């Protein structure tokens, strides 16, 4: 067990736990921030995507001990009122079916647009390729990213 102070969504949070614990479970089990989802546990599906200093990162294989003072942003902290351009575009296009993977999709999309505000269609597909949606909402995901990039 060890104590860590984490910067999450602009707030300092202290946790005392096994240093190997992935950030995914720190968020979900210890801080009751359940917007970040568990999908595969091996960084293959993207459901657990967060931003680490602005970069889309898989939280399911990211030990709490490796974070240091880097800034973590989760879906809960992407915007104060759910009005980030990507979230608004997601609602406009009515992307979700079951909705489970969408937080991860949104975190990947928002990190893309932060680095590349005007991605081509191909760049959007490439960036979103790491996030699995079993419901098959990929076409609406692309469309929503495009709309967000234009706003």
Partner 1 sequence: MTLVKTKIGRRSFIRNTGLASGGLVLGFNWLASCKMTPEQVNAMPKEWFELNGFLKVGDNGMVTIMSPNPEIGQNVKTAMPMIVAEELDVAWKDVIVEQAPLNTDIFTRQLAGGSQSIRQGWESLRMTGATARQMLKEAAAQTWQVPVDEITTGEGMLHHAASDKSAGYGEMASIAAGLEVPEEVSVKEISEFKIVGTDRKNVDGPKIVTGKPLFGLDIQREGMLTAMIVHPPAFGMKYKSMDAAAAKAMPGIKDVFPVVVYPEDAEKQWSDGGAIAEQVAIVGNSTWECMQAKKALDIEWEEASTLESSAYHDEALNQLLDTAPKEAARKDGDVDKAFKSAAKIVESVYTAPFLAHNTMEPMNFFAHVTSEKAELLGPIQTPEFLEKTLVSVLGMPAEKIDIMMTRMGGGFGRRLYGTFAVEAAVISQRMQAPIKLVYTREDDMTQGTYRPSYKVRYKAGLDDKGNLIAWHVRGAGTNDDLIFENRFPAGAVDNYLAEKHSLQTNVTTGAWRAPRSNFIAGAEQAFMDEVAEAAGKDPIAFRLELFDRAITNPVGDPKNNDYDPERYAGVLKLVREKSGWTGGDNNGKSRGVSAYYCHNSYVAQVMDLTVDGDKPNIDKVWCAVDCGIVINPLSAKNQIEGGIVDGIGHATYSALSFSNGQSDQKNFDTYRLIRNMEAPKEIESFFVDNGIDPTGLGEPSLPPIMGALANALYRATGRRYYHQPFINDKPPLVG
Interaction of residue 131 with partner 1, rule CB under 8 A = yes
Residue 102 vs 149, nearer CB to partner 1: 102
Minimum distance between the CB of residue 7 and partner 1, rounded to whole angstroms? Answer: 18
Interaction of residue 90 with partner 1, rule CB under 8 A = yes
72 neighbors 31 (Cβ within 8 angstroms): no
Q: Which of 49, 133, 148, 149 binds partner 1 (CB under 8 A)?
A: 133
100 neighbors 47 (Cβ within 8 angstroms): yes
Minimum distance between the CB of residue 143 and partner 1, rounded to whole angstroms? Answer: 10
Maximum separation of any 2 CA atoms in the chain, in Å: 47
Residues in CB range of 65: below 8 A, 6 or more apart: 2, 4, 19, 20
From 51-59, 65-73, 75-83, 112-120, span contacting partner 1 (CB under 8 A): 75-83
Report strand pairing: 71-73 vs 11-17: unpaired
* Order of all β-strands in the sheet with 11-17: 11-17, 2-8, 71-73, 49-52, 55-58
d(CA 142, CA 15): 37
Interaction of residue 62 with partner 1, rule CB under 8 A = no
126 neighbors 112 (Cβ within 8 angstroms): no
Minimum distance between the CB of residue 96 and partner 1, rounded to whole angstroms? Answer: 5
Tell which positions 22-51 bind partner 1, by CB under 8 A.
22, 25, 28-30, 32-42, 44-45, 47
Residues lying near partner 1 in the complex (CB under 8 A) are found at: 1, 17-18, 20-22, 25, 28-30, 32-42, 44-45, 47, 74-76, 78-79, 82, 87, 90-91, 94, 96-103, 106, 125-126, 128-142
């Amino acid at each position: 067990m060890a104590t860590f102070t984490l910067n999450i969504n602009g707030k300092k949070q202290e946790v005392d736990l096994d240093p190997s614990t992935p950030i995914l479970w720190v968020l979900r089990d210890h801080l009751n921030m359940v917007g970040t989802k568990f999908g595969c546990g091996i960084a293959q599906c993207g459901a657990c995507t967060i931003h680490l200093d602005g970069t889309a990162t898989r939280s399911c294989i990211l030990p709490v001990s490796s974070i240091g003072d880097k800034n973590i942003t989760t879906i809960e902290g992407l915007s104060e009122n759910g009005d980030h351009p990507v979230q608004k575009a997601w609602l406009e296009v009515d992307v979700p079916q079951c909705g489970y993977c969408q937080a991860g999709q949104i975190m990947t999309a928002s990190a893309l647009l932060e680095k590349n505000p005007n991605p081509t269609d191909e760049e959007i597909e490439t960036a979103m390729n790491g996030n699995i949606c079993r419901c098959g909402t990929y076409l609406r995901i692309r469309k929503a990213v495009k709309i967000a990039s234009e706003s």
